Amino acid sequence: MTRTAVIDIGSNTLLLLITEPGPDGELHAVVDLCRFGRLGQGLDASGRLHPDAIARSLDICREYRATMDAHGVGPIAVIATEAVRKATNGADFVVPARAILGADITVIPGEREAALAFTAQIRSLPTLRGRRFVVVDVGGASTEVIVADGDRVVSAVSVPIGAVRLAERHLRHDPPTADERAALAATIDAALAPLDLPTGVTLVASAGTATTLAAVELELVRYDPARVHGLTLAPARLLELADRLLTASSEQRRAMVGIEPQRVDVIPAGAAIFARLVARLDAPAIVISDRGIRWGMAYELSSPAA
């Protein structure tokens, strides 16, 4: 049975997904790991990858290479997104990472990122078929917004706002001040203003900010993707969660069940992006997805899109 591996190198996390087809014909996760390299550390201000971020991320690559060896994977796909895409010294990470992993690293554009996010949702959430929805994938440095008609992508845009980038730019007090929260909202609204978005449609929320919001809602002491994937939140509840995170101190957020320590400083900014999009879309419901672009890539490796 062929096992495939996908590594998603983002601005906050490095993700390793090893999958194999099950007896039911569906793709199943053998390994699904998340580690925090924070490659986007300081990128918004300097335009460069920080040496500490590079060192952390290369250590994670070594761990992932050992994990792949232990699980006997076949095809390997490694993709990198906004941090590597924008950094003037991206090669300082990519060259040694390629040698460690023994695989090419493809730096994908935002449009490709968006297409993979759509594939992940349409393959794993069949109830979406035949109705309009918007997928929002909030990353560390960018946010992908995909409008779909239920069967295909109508539009896909990568917006240069993300949880790490906006936290570093705006949230400098603990807890954030009212002026900082207002400036954060204004930045998000300005970035979203040019987008042609439908209203009254379901918002599918994916990536780490979204799954953390679900973990907080469910008070998960141990993260459970089966409970998170497909969870539906009412708009009012998502707005309550976002407001709670934005007005809490880091100590209070650290005490909340469901928040990983490495997300404590950036989760308010990520939640704010979702909150502003909920208002912009007038979304009747928010569906949380545990399956981000790593799954989109895995589906592509395993078979043509359904």
CATH 3.30.420.150 domain locations along the chain: 111-289
3-class SS of residue 155 = strand
φ, ψ of residue 104 in degrees (nearest 5): -65, 150
Q: What is the pTM of this model?
A: 0.91
Residues 6 or more apart from 163 whose CB is under 8 A from it? Answer: 12, 138, 139, 140, 208, 209, 263, 266, 267, 269, 270, 273
Which one is the CATH code of 111-289: 3.40.50.2300, 3.40.50.12660, 3.30.1330.10, 3.30.420.150?
3.30.420.150
The alpha carbons of the chain give a radius of gyration, in whole angstroms, of: 18
Amino acid at 151: D
Q: Per-residue pLDDT for the chain (306 aa), expressed as one digit of tens each? A: 689 999 999 999 999 999 999 888 789 999 999 999 999 999 989 999 999 999 999 999 999 999 999 999 998 999 999 899 999 999 999 999 999 999 999 999 988 988 898 999 999 998 888 889 999 999 998 999 999 998 889 999 989 999 999 999 999 999 999 999 999 999 999 999 999 999 999 999 999 999 999 999 999 999 999 999 999 999 999 999 999 999 999 999 999 999 999 999 999 999 999 999 999 999 999 999 999 999 999 999 987 444
Fold adopted by 4-108: Nucleotidyltransferase; domain 5 (3.30.420)
